[in-house]
Each structure stands twice: as C-alpha cells, then as structure tokens.
Structure 1
Amino acid sequence: MFCHAVAPLLAKHRGLEDLHSRITAFLDSRLPTPLTEDDPRPDWLTLRREAAQAGLTGLDVASSGAPWQSGRVAQGLAMFLAGRRDCDARELFSSGHGAMALRHGTPDVVRQVRERVVVEGQLAGVASSEPHSGSDLGGLRTVALDHGDHLVLSGTKGLISRVEEATGFVVFCKIVEPGAAETRDLREVPLSAVWLPMDATGVLTETTVPLGMRGWSFGHLHLVDVRLGKDCLLAAPGDGRRIFDTHFSAWRVMMALVCLGAADAAITESAARAQARSVGRSSLASIPSVAARLGAAAAEIEAATAWCFSLLERIDQDDIDVPGCSAAKAFATDAAFRAVDLALQLHGSEGYTSRTPMEKRLRDIRGLRIADGPNDTLYSVLAHSLMTRTSGRTAQSGVLTPR
C-alpha cells in the first residue's frame, strides 16, 4: 500500500511505483516494524551490502536501465521510505556522499568509489565541519600542501558521522603551497575537495556517543600528514564550493525526507492509537483538539513532503534552488520534530519510554536539525536571497550556506 504523503508523487511518476515496491519489500523483510531503542540494533552495514545486491545503492547516479534507477527524486523516495522504519536506515540506499567523488573524481577515483560504494555497498562519508568553526566553510583550517606531484593533508574534522564505517571520505580543505599555511589568511583561499581513502597512512579516528542517530559512529577525523596522489583531487583546485553547494542542496532535501518519513509513520501510529484509546465513553480521536492537532501536523508533513519532491524534480532538470533547498530542510525537520513530539504526547506515559519508536525518532530528528547546517542558518539563506533580490542585487548561490 502506498503512503498517503507520497501518493501524489507516484501518481505523477509512474516509473517510481516499481521502485516503491522494491524498497518496501526490502524493508519489510529486514525492518518489518519501526525500531525502538529497546530493539536489538540492526547490522546496518550488512543491510547496506544486501541493498547493493538488490541494486538499490546507485539510485542517484545510475545513468541507464529502468526509469527508477537514476535521479534525485528516486533517491528521495528511498529516503522517505527508509525514515518510516528508522532514521538510521537513511544510509541503506543510494551512493550518499560518494556521489561527489562519482561526479567530480578522476577515472581512477570514480572506478574505485563505484566498485566499493555502489557495487559492494560500502559507505562513503563527508568531512567538512571542524571543531573550531562548525559549519563556517570559510573558516576551515584543514590544508592540503601542494608538493607538485602529490598533496599532504593535515587537520581535524568533526563532529561527523560514519568515522568508523566509511571506506573513504570527501574532505573539504584549502590547497596551499608548502610553508604558506602559517602565513596566508586561509579565509582567502578557495575551497577544494579531495577523496580520502580510509586506509591511507595518517588517518586517525576518535569516536563519541551522540544523543541520537546512534546506528552509525560519530566523532572526529584527525589527519596527520596524509599523503595523497593528485588523482584524489575532485574537479579542479578551488572547485570545492561548487561541489559542496551542488551536492548539499540535494542532500539537505534527502535528510528532510528521512525526517518526514519518520513523522508520517508517527502520525499514522498516533491516529490509530487515538481511535483505539478510550477517554470516558468516547475515543481519544473524538476530542476536537486532538483531531485538530493531528490534522495540522499531517498538513505540515504533506506540504513539506510536496515541497521537497518539487525541489528534487527541479534538481533532476539541472535547476538547483540553493536557498529553497536550505529552507525546505529546515522547515521539514522542524515540522517533523513537532509531529513526533505530538505523537509522543498522544501516546501518554508509554510514549516517554524506549518501548515505542517515538523517543528514538525525537532524538534522531533533533540531530538532523543540526546536521548539514543548523536550521536557523538555513532559514537565513532564503532570507538573504529574498533581501538581495528585493534590493536589486543578484543573489549568490553559496551565500551563508553552511557545512
């Protein structure tokens, strides 16, 4: 049965019905019900490898085959359905951050990443945030010293996800000449991106325990004089901002859809509970304020879902709305958090336990309101775009875009 929130999408894109069925069948056989914190933690990497065997890890980058096999809309559908089972299931489908290496890497890097990430189902990560500057890309201090035939990468990245599971990371850094890192103003150096295999000498990891999203490791990468061949550079030196904005415009929408999937499931569960639970001689659902709050939450989730998929449709047509994608991620994750908080409330004291999915969803979505740029900053991207348009200036796609 199709989820109500994505029914309009499937009616519009008939080619996605088969993908919907395949992903639903995959999840039904492995994660038949939404996870609670009390449930045994799945072996997520094994599930991702099984998704690769089912052909579900290249949705966003495949260039041929069935209609559902390529495109950001297809990837977004997979993210929404994953979120309905658990926010940590977001890593099961698509090439994830490996897409940056696949789209901008040298032939050797593309071959390596495609084999590991798409075919074998290994995981790729991204390392942009730094402890001292958070999401301020201009303030990054990780440098790659240019020695002519190779680069030497040094710096610390964190807090970031997948530090123990990823086969490699896309690292955002500043390329400078040897000796210049101490004398140059790094804010004036354009951003670059490199592919970093995790088996490179000098890569150290440090993990910590986050509040939510505990299915994948979380922590820091310490890069100590890591030598990389020039073939690890993605696109040209100084192209990092373009790579970042292009990728994260879509990725933020993907994370929004994960949260919207979780919220959609929470609303469905709460509606069923409200009908079954008695208050006096009536059901909880018969109380007008309860019905109104559930209806308002459902309306927000459906509106946010429609907005996200409309943005992905535009991206598939090479029309990237950076401010819109930023604001959509903020609005959707805020709406999802409110919906799950309401669902927890309607479950009463039981909702405030680890026996229902609600408290785990609440913690996971809270983390995704910070990841890839905190929501206040993402709203400001749209505001800045509106103000520059109003003042007659041309809005710059990367202005204020974090992490």
Structure 2
Amino acid sequence: MHASEIRAVLARHPALCAFASRVTDFLDGHLPEPATEEAARPPWLGLRRRAAEAGLTGFDLACAATGPADGCGSPEDRGAVAVVPRGLERVAQGLAMFLAGRRDCDAREVFSTGHGAMALRYGAPAVVRAVHDRVVRGGELAGVASSEPHSGSDLRGLRTVAVDHGDHLLLSGTKGLVSRVEEAAGFVVFCKMVAPDEAAVVQTDAAALRRVPLSALWLPMETAGVLTETAAPLGLRGWSLGHLHFHNVRVGKDGLLGAPGDGRRIFDAHFSGWRLMMALVCLGAATAAIEETMTRARRRSVGRTSLANIPSVASRLGTSAAEVQAATAWCFSLLERVGQDGEGPDVAACSAAKALATDAAYRAVDVALQLHGSDGYTRHTPMEKRLRDIRGLRIADGPNDTLYSVLAQSLLAGSRPSPPLIVAQRQA
C-alpha cells in the first residue's frame, strides 16, 4: 500500500526519487521502527539537528538551492541541501511528511523549514539571515502563534496587539494552546498592529479591533518579556504545548513580516500548504497501521480460518485503505498545483483535504487498533499513540468542522470555477 502510493508520486516526478531515498535512509538510520508510548521517547530535537546536517531542513524553499542572492544562505550551505527541482518543493515536503508519519506523527518536525518558511519568505534581510542560520543550518525549530484562548480559529477575533512606536513595536496579548513553546527558537506571531492613539480604543472596543487587519511578525524566544506556560496534551507529546504571554514586548520594526496588514495573506498562503503536510503525516501513520494489521490478519486465525479470510475483517481493511489512498491522492494533487495556478493556493480545497485526510486516517487507525484486539489497546504497539496523535491533528491548524465549512462557503459563494476541474479530469 505504501509502495503503490509513493510509486505513483515518483512516477510523475522521477526527479524526486533521490530525495525520497535520502529521507527514507535517514529514517531507517535514526528511527527504524514506529514509536510507541512504552518505549523511550526519541530525541526529536536532536533528530532535527541531524536532519539539518544531512541537508533535510531547507529543501522546501526554492531559495534554498539558489543562494545568497535570495537571502537564503551561502554556497557552503547548499552543498548538503537535498536538491529538489524548482516547482517541486512542496511535493517533496509532502513526501517527507508522509514518510515521517509512518514512523511517528511527532516526526513531522524533523524535516523542512516548517513554520520558519513564513519568516524566510516574507522577512527583512536580517530576519531571513537569522532564521536561516538557526532553523535551516542549525536545525532549530520555528513555531507559530495564531490562536488565542478566547477566539480559537477566529482570526478576526484575535486580541494580541502590536502598538507601532515608529522604530519598534510593543506587543501585548496571550497565545494558546501553542505547540513547541519550549523548543522553538522563535515564533511567527499573528497580531493586530495599531497606532498609539488607537491602542486604548481597540483594547476596549472588540468590534473596532475586529476591523483591524491581521499582521505577522517574527519574535525570537530570547526577547525580553516573553513568558511561557506549559500544559499536558492528550497526544503529540513529543513536543511541548502551552501558552505564550506578551506584555509590552519590544520588537524591532524589522521583525514585521511583509507589510502591515499582510497577515491574512501570509497565513492563507502558508497554511494552505501546511494543512496538507499535517494531512500527509496522518495518512503516513494510517498506511503503516493498515499494513501492520494486514500482516497480523494473515498470521492470526479464528478456529481454522485466517483472520484475513473473514469477510467483515477484509471489508473494514479495504474500506480504510480506499479512504486513505483517495485522501493521499487528493493531497498530492493539490501540492502539485500550489504555485502553478497563478492565483495562489486553493485555500478551500486544501482546508477540506486536511479535514478529510485526518478523519480518514483516524478511522483507519481505529479499525487497526480494533483488529489488533487487546494488544492494540496497550502502549507497546504504536496504535494507541497514533490514535491520540491524529486526534490532536484533527484540531490543530483549524478544527475539521471549520475546515469543511470553508469549502462549503466557497461553493455556496460560487467562487470555485468548474472549467479547470473538468479539463483536469479529461487530461487524466
């Protein structure tokens, strides 16, 4: 099952075969078996640093292979970087995430620039150099701080404010629940940027603050005044989770990503692709779970009958495999179109694909756990950890109900033209 899905992608993009082999070799050397909750926790941040040494942290940006003219590094950096043909960076990132998910959902942070891509794509030269040195070369992590305790996925409802004092900003607010609060070198913070004379008004007038456009900035974690508060998550325990608190945190104006008010554009452009990455992590975990269950079904018997020959067992496994393969194909087809349509990513389709994929992956792992019997409910198999991890990724980066509604609203508004889809189907 795994081989057929990867083979289909590589058949369309043979130039990525060497890259996929590099990722697989890295995983075989450092994380040869799927992680379980019973075993010692892998040194995730250490693995990311090793991935940086192997050139597997900067391949997802076009500038990673072009050098100083693009502000993305020096010639010596590029010697180790896994070479990905221009235009296939997102597909390569999706391959890495799928392969990582087969070992563990927490391995999602080992490869690529992750959320640091926003700072590298939209940051001032000084920010680009700093983030490249730390995240790409050094293998550190970049986080993202968007949701707030009171607003969830409502971006217009954010109350974190950056007051513009000319040469610097003063940032105040709370973000949570945020992943990587202890490990990240810095965060991309989404906030509302206002003038000093507006600050008092918007702090007391929620409706006025909703009208302020979103902005984004890069905030190194060593910045004075940044406070962290951790919480214990149900799953995805390989990385810390918690809150970030800011009270008049001074940020240089060069920390602004893009122009003031560019935050929503930056968010949509990044998270359209990132949601597909999280989808593929879950789909990788689901394919591994299905394969393990098929192996078990062939070996186990009920009376004189192999478990694999019981129609209800075969039907459930087949249904799971069909859903996972269909979701995987959709995710990769969307990644192949990113940057090629001329109008930016299809936010609605990417949102729905992430929801569909994580739902399908959760059902597949649930079936796999059930067919493992009582063993599946223990911590010495990877099933229960996968189930908890995927459950978290059905909430992260936008809960699935919200993501499905994004597609529905797009369809109801008539903003999704049909001709390109019809042409694509005829070509296929």
Matched ranges for 1:2-401 at <5 A? 3-63=3-63, 64=65, 66-67=83-84, 71-184=89-202, 185-317=208-340, 318=342, 319-389=344-414
CA contact (8 A) 2:2 2:287 kept: no
Deviations 1:354-391 (A, max 9, x none): 11000000000000000000000000000001101089
Out of 56-65 and 190-199, give the one that drifted further.
Answer: 56-65
Q: Judging changes above 3 Å, is the alpha-carbon distance between structure 1 residues 390 and 223 closer, same or farther for their aligned structure 2 residues?
A: closer
Deviations 1:61-105 (A, max 9, x none): 143373358610000000000000000000000000000000000
CA contact (8 A) 2:19 2:84 kept: no
Out of 272-281 and 317-326, give the one that drifted further.
Answer: 317-326
The CA deviation at 1:150 is 0.6
The whole-number CA distance in structure 2 between the counterparts of 1:390 and 1:59 is 33
The CA deviation at 1:316 is 3.8
Q: Judging changes above 3 Å, is the alpha-carbon distance between structure 1 residues 340 and 12 closer, same or farther for their aligned structure 2 residues?
A: same
CA contact (8 A) 1:116 1:122 kept: yes
Letter of the structure 2 residue corresponding to residue 369 of structure 1: R
The CA deviation at 1:3 is 2.5
Query: In the alignment, what sits opposite 2:421?
Result: none
Out of 65-74 and 327-336, give the one that drifted further.
Answer: 65-74
The whole-number CA distance in structure 2 between the counterparts of 1:328 and 1:251 is 11
Letter of the structure 2 residue corresponding to residue 47 of structure 1: L
Deviations 1:252-303 (A, max 9, x none): 0000000000000000000000000011101100001111111111011111
Over the matched positions of the two proteins, sequence identity in percent amounts to: 71
Deviations 1:97-145 (A, max 9, x none): 0000000000000010011000110000000000011111000000000
Letter of the structure 2 residue corresponding to residue 117 of structure 1: V
Q: Judging changes above 3 Å, is the alpha-carbon distance between structure 1 residues 390 and 191 closer, same or farther for their aligned structure 2 residues?
A: closer
Q: Judging changes above 3 Å, is the alpha-carbon distance between structure 1 residues 72 and 390 closer, same or farther for their aligned structure 2 residues?
A: closer
Letter of the structure 2 residue corresponding to residue 279 of structure 1: V
TM-score norm. by structure 2 comes to 0.89
Q: What secondary structure does 1:159 align onto?
A: strand
Could you list the runs of 5+ residues in structure 2 that have no partner in the other structure?
67-82, 203-207, 418-428
The CA deviation at 1:4 is 2.5
TM-score norm. by structure 1 comes to 0.95
CA contact (8 A) 1:33 1:85 kept: yes
Query: In the alignment, what sits opposite 2:426?
Result: none
Q: What secondary structure does 2:338 align onto?
A: helix
Letter of the structure 1 residue corresponding to residue 412 of structure 2: M
Out of 17-26 and 122-131, give the one that drifted further.
Answer: 17-26
How many pairs does the alignment contain?
392
Q: What secondary structure does 2:413 align onto?
A: helix
The whole-number CA distance in structure 2 between the counterparts of 1:204 and 1:391 is 43
The whole-number CA distance in structure 2 between the counterparts of 1:127 and 1:59 is 24
Q: Judging changes above 3 Å, is the alpha-carbon distance between structure 1 residues 381 and 251 closer, same or farther for their aligned structure 2 residues?
A: same
Letter of the structure 2 residue corresponding to residue 321 of structure 1: D
CA contact (8 A) 1:18 1:68 kept: no
The whole-number CA distance in structure 2 between the counterparts of 1:224 and 1:168 is 17
The whole-number CA distance in structure 2 between the counterparts of 1:10 and 1:330 is 25
